[in-house]
Amino acid sequence: PATSMEELVSLCKRRGFIFQGSEIYGGLQGFYDYGPLGVELKNNIKAAWWRTNVYERDDMEGLDASIIMHRQVLRHSGHEATFSDPMVDNKKNNKRYRLDHLVKDQKADVIAKVAEAMGQSAENFPAVVAALNANPAQASEALRAAGVRDPFSGEVGEWTEPKPFNMMFKTTIGPVADDESYGYLRPETAQGIFTNFKNVVDSTSRRLPFGIAQIGKAFRNEITPRNFIFRVRELEQMEIEFFCAPGTDEDWHEKWLEARLSWWEAQGVPRSKIEILDVPKEDLAHYSKRTYDLMYDYPTLGHEEIEGIANRSDYDLGSHTKNQSELGLVARVEENLDSIAKLTIPHPETNKPVVPFVIEPSAGVDRAMLAVLSEAFTKETLENGNERIVLKLKPHLAPIKVAVIPLARNKAELVDLARSIKNDLQKLGLGRILLEDSGNIGKAYRRHDEVGTPYCVTVDFDTVGKGEDASLTDTVTIRDRDTLAQERVKISELSSYLQAKLR
């Protein structure tokens, strides 16, 4: 695995996985563009998630809801009131920071002083953050007393009292910009699932328990986007809302935890690298009955959230439904006089209408990509003493499945045959097959090691019957990325050979 974030950032840029957004105009903080290989890896991760969670189950449906949503959706979801992070300003240079990020970035002795001033132990950082968030006036005093430094200037800052900062992007809809004509870019994909609950139930005749899966962009105006694609302002999520009868929720929560850990393992992110955080009661989001955060051990960053698996009780459908008071809701919800739909479903046993409980496994695509890259990243010393960087991606995630390489780029005979092999392989539907006629073979191998191409197929003079060994006519060399073993295979058997390896 990678040992630092820097080596990943450098590989991603060098080989065309990820670029800074709007780079030629100086870049835009918190926005990234996925390059030729990045888009393939990202699509493969999403496809693997969809396969496991939609196609391979019998209790799931898919959805692709719109990104811009009615302001009432985000009002009744609770986001207008509570989707905010505490922010502090340094009066000396007008820089703004997210309170917990600011404290986390301090030296250990400063963190200890802040923790003490808040009556907490520095060992339990989440408790320190909870205390800071809960007591703005005391927090401000604690920052001052501890001599908290500005990460930008390095000097002790002059800190304001923390204020909540709402992270939603608001946008005008239509030609008139007035007080009513706005919507929000969704801050999570989940709300599109809740607002379509009735549509999906009515159109598919689903009964409890069942889930709806969605992959898509979400937008959060993070105060301090940072750590490469770990914390961005335009992100992509893979979310499931799994609806079940009240009382069966705890059981489903455990099942989903297990299912998700096993999915991560299949993507090359082992359980041993994921810590399960059973989020303490006092740190739970207002809608949550219980939450497991999966904390992956990122290089340089340490354990940070890659996925949250929350038991959201009946909060969401209960918040968006009409006739709330008649439905015996368990969650405490704000009154809703705007919704025109009753979001119930027959209880599997009593057949009486019930607002189901929801288990929500929510993973970030960008954070998944970072973890997958990090686990695959390998630096090896070869027998000849040379070092190589190789991405040992699972074949189903590799951006390029096979590179077909003519040994000499200026020999039409070799290039034409390589192209025809490439075209045949492409038809197998394995993913991207690349004709690699850009330079010498050594460079090609090095490049394909670094981008994780599982197999290179080389067409040489023997292949076309012009080498020294006539028995090699109509055969090609297949090189294995991980073992470096080279094998001669008949062109006629190439498809079945690669299909078996890459399935």
From the list 316, 366, 436, 449, which residue makes contact with ligand ATP (rule: CB under 6 A)?
Answer: 366
SS3 293: strand
Longest dimension (CA), the chain: 86
Is 261 a binding residue for ligand ATP by CB under 6 A? The answer is no
Angstrom distance (rounded) from CA 201 to CA 434: 43
271: DSSP letter: G
Smallest separation (angstroms) from ligand ATP to the CB of 236: 8
Task: Give, for 89, the enclosing helix (H) or strand (E).
Answer: strand 84-90
Is 405 a binding residue for ligand ATP by CB under 6 A? The answer is no
Phi-psi region of 228 (alpha: psi -120 to 50; beta: other; left: phi over 0): left
Smallest separation (angstroms) from ligand ATP to the CB of 279: 9
Query: Which range touches ligand ATP (CB under 6 A), out of 231-239, 241-249, 327-335, 476-484?
Result: 231-239
From the list 120, 237, 313, 475, which residue makes contact with ligand ATP (rule: CB under 6 A)?
Answer: 237
Is 306 a binding residue for ligand ATP by CB under 6 A? The answer is yes
Phi, psi angle pair for 133, to nearest 5°? -65, -35
Angstrom distance (rounded) from CA 152 to CA 100: 16
Is 231 a binding residue for ligand ATP by CB under 6 A? The answer is yes
Is 215 a binding residue for ligand ATP by CB under 6 A? The answer is no
Q: Report the b/e string of 85-100 with b at 16+ CB within 10 A.
A: bbbbbbeeeebebbbb
CA 446 to chain CA mean position, Å: 28
From the list 15, 101, 220, 273, which residue makes contact with ligand ATP (rule: CB under 6 A)?
Answer: 220
Query: Which range touches ligand ATP (CB under 6 A), out of 54-62, 227-235, 449-457, 469-477?
Result: 227-235
Angstrom distance (rounded) from CA 210 to CA 245: 10
Q: At what angle are helices 365-376 and 5-15 packed, to 10 degrees?
A: 100
Angstrom distance (rounded) from CA 6 to CA 335: 49
Query: Which range touches ligand ATP (CB under 6 A), out of 117-125, 135-143, 153-161, 306-314?
Result: 306-314
Answer yes or no: are the C-beta atoms of 222 and 30 closer than 8 Å. Answer: yes
Is 274 a binding residue for ligand ATP by CB under 6 A? The answer is no
Contact map string, positions 384 to 403, toward ligand ATP, x by CB under 6 A = --------------------
Smallest separation (angstroms) from ligand ATP to the CB of 47: 18
Is 222 a binding residue for ligand ATP by CB under 6 A? The answer is yes
Angstrom distance (rounded) from CA 128 to CA 115: 6
Residue number, 306 or 444, with CB nearest to ligand ATP = 306
Is 307 a binding residue for ligand ATP by CB under 6 A? The answer is yes
Residue number, 85 or 314, with CB nearest to ligand ATP = 85
Smallest separation (angstroms) from ligand ATP to the CB of 220: 5
Is 99 a binding residue for ligand ATP by CB under 6 A? The answer is no
Is 479 a binding residue for ligand ATP by CB under 6 A? The answer is no
Is 360 a binding residue for ligand ATP by CB under 6 A? The answer is no
Residue number, 110 or 363, with CB nearest to ligand ATP = 363
Is 186 a binding residue for ligand ATP by CB under 6 A? The answer is no
Phi, psi angle pair for 195, to nearest 5°? -70, -20
Phi-psi region of 425 (alpha: psi -120 to 50; beta: other; left: phi over 0): alpha
Answer yes or no: are the C-beta atoms of 359 and 307 closer than 8 Å. Answer: no
From the list 41, 235, 371, 414, which residue makes contact with ligand ATP (rule: CB under 6 A)?
Answer: 235
Short-list 329, 353, 365, CA closest to 229: 365
Is 308 a binding residue for ligand ATP by CB under 6 A? The answer is yes
Is 362 a binding residue for ligand ATP by CB under 6 A? The answer is yes
Is 232 a binding residue for ligand ATP by CB under 6 A? The answer is yes
Short-list 398, 500, 384, CA closest to 449: 398
Angstrom distance (rounded) from CA 77 to CA 285: 13
Query: Which range touches ligand ATP (CB under 6 A), out of 62-70, 201-209, 299-307, 391-399?
Result: 299-307
Short-list 80, 83, 73, 34, CA closest to 319: 73
Angstrom distance (rounded) from CA 189 to CA 63: 10
Answer yes or no: are the C-beta atoms of 157 and 96 closer than 8 Å. Answer: no
Smallest separation (angstroms) from ligand ATP to the CB of 146: 23
- CA distances (Å), 98 to each of 9, 164, 221, 484, in order? 24, 10, 12, 47
Residue number, 237 or 374, with CB nearest to ligand ATP = 237
Is 105 a binding residue for ligand ATP by CB under 6 A? The answer is no
From the list 38, 364, 399, 454, which residue makes contact with ligand ATP (rule: CB under 6 A)?
Answer: 364
SS3 123: coil
Is 305 a binding residue for ligand ATP by CB under 6 A? The answer is yes
Residues interacting with ligand ATP, by CB under 6 A?
Answer: 220, 222, 231-232, 235, 237, 305-308, 362-364, 366-367
